[in-house]
Amino acid sequence: MSQNNELSAEAVDQALGAKASVQEAQAQQFQALMASASNNQDPNALNLDKKKEYYKHLIGKKYIRPEEHEQLKAQGKGGVDQEKEFTKEHLPELHRVVEANGIMTMDYRPDRLNVHLDEDDKCKNISWV
C-alpha cells in the first residue's frame, strides 16, 4: 500500500513539474508578444509594403473579366498579353475589383487588394483598405 502511495506522490510531483513548465512557456510567449506589440511590429504591415510595390504593375493594364477569359480559352486564345492585360488569376485570393463609378462597402480590410477600373476596364488605381 505504501508503494502505491509513493508512486502516486511521484506522479503528482511529475504532473506539477509539467504544469510549471507549461506555465513558464506560456509566460515567455506572452512576453514575446508584448515586446512585439510595444515595438509596433505588425508582420502583416511589414509584408504589405512589398505587396503594394508588387501590384503597382497592374496600373494601366486592361482587366479581362473571368467570363471573357473563359470565352477566349474556348476559342483557343487563352493567353493574355501580360504586358497589357491581367485576369483574376493574377490577383491575390483576397481582392475586390471596383468598376468605374461603382459603389463599394467601406469595411476596413488592409489585407484586401482593391483594383479600381476606368470606363475601359483599365486599372487606374489600387488600394489596400
On whether both 108 and 70 belong to a single domain, the answer is yes
Domain that holds residue 111: 43-127
User: What is the structure's pLDDT at 46?
Assistant: 44
Amino acid, single-letter form, for residue 72: L
Identify the residue whose cell numbers are 506522490: 9
- CATH number for the domain spanning 71: value is 3.30.10.10
On whether both 47 and 72 belong to a single domain, the answer is yes
On whether both 121 and 64 belong to a single domain, the answer is yes
Largest CA distance in the chain: 88
Q: What span, in angstroms and rounded, lies between the C-alpha atoms of 35 and 29?
A: 10
On whether both 83 and 37 belong to a single domain, the answer is no
User: What is the structure's pLDDT at 26?
Assistant: 59
- The pTM for the full model equals 0.59
Q: Which three cell numbers stand for residue 55?
A: 501590384
Task: Calculate what percentage of the chain has a pLDDT beyond 90.
Answer: 33
Is residue 105 within 8 A of residue 123, CB to CB? The reply is no
CB atoms within 10 A of CB 86: 19
On whether both 60 and 108 belong to a single domain, the answer is yes
Q: What is the pLDDT of residues 14-24, one digit of tens each?
A: 766 666 676 67
Count of domains forming the chain: 2
